[in-house]
A and B are shown apart, each in its own frame.
Chain A
Amino acid sequence: MQQPNKLTPFFENINFERDDNTMVINFGPQHPSAHGQLRLVLELEGEKVVKAYPDIGYLHRGVEKMAENMMYNEFLPTTDRLDYIASTANNYAYALAVEKLLGVEVPRRAQVIRTMLLELNRIISHLFFIATHALDVGAMSVFLYAFREREYAMDLMEEYCGARLTHSSIRIGGVPLDLPKDWISNLISFCDKVEYELEHTYNALLQENRIWKMRLEDVGVLSAEDAISWGCSGIMLRGSGVKYDIRKEEPYELYSELDFDIPVSDRGDSYGRYRLYMAEIEQSIKIIRQLIPMYKDTKPQLMAHAPEYISAPKEQIMTQNYSLMQHFVLVTQGMRPPVGEVYVPTESPKGELGFFIRSEGEPYAYRVKVRAPSFYHTGLLQEILVGTYIADVVTIIGSTNIVFGEVDR
């Protein structure tokens, strides 16, 4: 029996010691394999999980509340802190939602740069997944190799926007900067490098590895009906045999012009999902290679021309009085989008990342709802973990690829 006092309060009616064969264990919130602050209360019968209860909220910062108290441009850097593994994807999802609300057309060069950055971030995120997932399962060396390549990708991001993790590399209406001088050639060599390593290191280490297959095959099997009903998206959905990628089905940015495949697996288990991550890295490289010639054909305009909502380029602000006045109003008062609401889904590396924005014509959004893929994947844990063994719990959590900045917001 628990003895509650002020320092050890009574703990949510959980009876850790039971008379029968079952045992309740507390997994996290400080667990190295929980990918952040996830607390799982697991009820075990022998080594089998009979009940799982994911408890979240340890990283809750009130991002949606902050969005209601910030101007639209002010909020953009905060979106970095959602899915901090691939922050450009968050910046982009938010910027796209606001652009849809404003009805702003983004110039083509900005579109090319954005798509490049999104795919680069997808590679960063997937490499991170491979690294941590392998580490959770017990393959230490993959972690080191994958982090080495991820470091090169982050160097590219740093060269472009100056930040490695919290990029803020996309603005509402375009991108802030053109690509630096040798960036494209560095990007090409990075793509070559990742392609080579993918084949010779990751696949060689993992794909046919006996231990890896034993740990992943038929672990965390998710049926297509369950995946749809639980609101799964991204690889969690495609890993269960549902071919749905927002980039393909509801194309945004330049994805309708690009040639790429959507890998699907009908296995529904962790191994199938792992294979999809590897295949998506390949597809991302393919997309980036197609974007490079596209970049050269574009005009140098980087931000949309919409003086009501978006400041003029810096040169114009410095030389023309009206642009300066407009810029001053936009910085101090903020843009006022039309009254209305918008929900825009994008395919982030984790799944469907959408922003619902309700605007009342004020410089502050009336309601911002972040539809985070990881939030729904965490909800899924209470069903998918039941019936599995305690040793597979970490594999399944790793396989859902949840990031807690996004779950708790």
Chain B
Amino acid sequence: MRQYRPKDNVQKKAYHTDRFYQVPTQPRFEVQEGSHFDDVVKALGDLCKEAYVSLNQLVVYIDATTNKETLTLLRDECAYAQCSELSAIDYLAQDGEFEIFYQLLNLSNASRMRVKCRIKPEQAIESVVDVYKSANFAEREMYDMFGIYVNNHPYLKRILMPEDWQGHPLLKTYPLQGDEFASWYEVDKIFGKEYRDIIGPENRDPARIDRYDTKRFSRVGYEVPFGADISEGEKPNPIEYSETVLVDYNKSSKQLDEKR
């Protein structure tokens, strides 16, 4: 029977995990009374659902519908003038949700905080381009990579992938090698779908390496004439590694004995 592989997360997984392995967790600290982060949490009031400090950065969870309100408040009242990063994490497999984070920077006292919220895949998030202009490109990238729609964005369009691309590459359901559409993209675009059969999978990738190709690749260890057919059988190669790669560790300048 073929091994079952989950479809909702096709990314690489650990091939072995110890039965009794306990995963440690990064420590989270409570917001200290009287600190700068305490003022921020107080200024947010009801908007803040949960707050903790991790690695000297404040992490705040908010409701996804209040994102613009929260960020405007943080910019105007807490001096978080720059949004240095904005993106999403795909938790669709576990929770059926995306987690969106806004990484903010306060330039006056060099403190950083992260505002996080969660949305369902069918929901859209409000754009924060009016608050931080840097969100313009970042939100487009988030849309491109995850397919999260951003309401009221001035120009919501794919940014890294081609305009006519199908699928969103950073989703956990999207395989690293790409899907059916990705592998035939150039063929479909240049020649048309009907040419898939004529061109065939062996010719669709110009970077494909054919081990019997003697026109574009030389053989290591022995030579064959240009274009010779060697598909019948390759001569066994007596040299495993080319000699230039072999290093004589006894003769190298760095000797282990010296250090002792």
Interchain CB contact under 8 A, B107 and A244: yes
Q: Which of A60-68, A130-138, A263-271, A385-393 is near enough to bind chain B?
A: A60-68
The residue on A at minimum CB distance from B155 is A53
Known: A229-B81, A333-B15. Is A6-B190 also a contact (CB below 8 A)?
Answer: yes
Q: How large is the interface on A (under 10, 10 to 19, 20 to 34, 35 or more residues)?
A: 35 or more
Q: Which of A163-171, A185-193, A289-297, A351-359 is near enough to bind chain B?
A: A351-359
Distance, CA A64 to CA B174, complexed state (A) = 13
Known: A338-B25, A369-B85. Is A229-B160 also a contact (CB below 8 A)?
Answer: no
Distance, CA A376 to CA B82, complexed state (A) = 12
Interchain CB contact under 8 A, A69 and B176: yes
Distance, CA A409 to CA B145, complexed state (A) = 12
Distance, CA A379 to CA B256, complexed state (A) = 52
- Work out how many contacts link A and B, with CB atoms closer than 8 A: 133
Interface of B, secondary structure class, is loop
Distance, CA A223 to CA B54, complexed state (A) = 33
A residues less than 8 Å from B87 (CB atoms): 356, 369
Q: How large is the interface on B (under 10, 10 to 19, 20 to 34, 35 or more residues)?
A: 35 or more
Distance, CA A228 to CA B101, complexed state (A) = 19
Interchain CB contact under 8 A, B82 and A378: no
Distance, CA A339 to CA B89, complexed state (A) = 14
Interchain CB contact under 8 A, A226 and B133: yes
The residue on B at minimum CB distance from A409 is B160
The residue on A at minimum CB distance from B141 is A375
Interface of A, secondary structure class, is mixed
B residues less than 8 Å from A315 (CB atoms): 256, 259
In the assembled complex, how far is the CB of residue A182 from the closest CB belonging to chain B, in whole angstroms? 12
Does A29 belong to the interface (CB within 8 Å)? no
Interchain CB contact under 8 A, A339 and B82: no
Within 8 A of A (CB), among B54-111: 54-55, 57, 81-85, 87, 89-90, 101, 103, 107, 110
Among A64, A354, A382, point to the contact of B84 (Cβ < 8 A). Answer: A354
Does A176 belong to the interface (CB within 8 Å)? no
Distance, CA A191 to CA B161, complexed state (A) = 43
Does B120 belong to the interface (CB within 8 Å)? no
The residue on B at minimum CB distance from A54 is B137
Among B55, B85, B189, point to the contact of A371 (Cβ < 8 A). Answer: B85
- B→A interface (CB under 8 Å): 11-16, 21, 23-26, 54-55, 57, 81-85, 87, 89-90, 101, 103, 107, 110, 112, 114, 132-134, 136-138, 141, 145, 158-163, 169-170, 174, 176, 189-192, 256, 259
- A→B interface (CB under 8 Å): 6-7, 9, 12, 56-57, 60, 62, 64-66, 68-70, 100-101, 226, 228-231, 233, 242, 244, 249-250, 315, 318, 333-334, 336, 338-343, 345, 352, 354, 356, 358, 361-364, 366-367, 369, 371, 375-376, 378-379, 382-383, 408-409
3 pairs of A and B residues whose beta carbons are closest in the complex: A340-B26, A231-B134, A361-B23
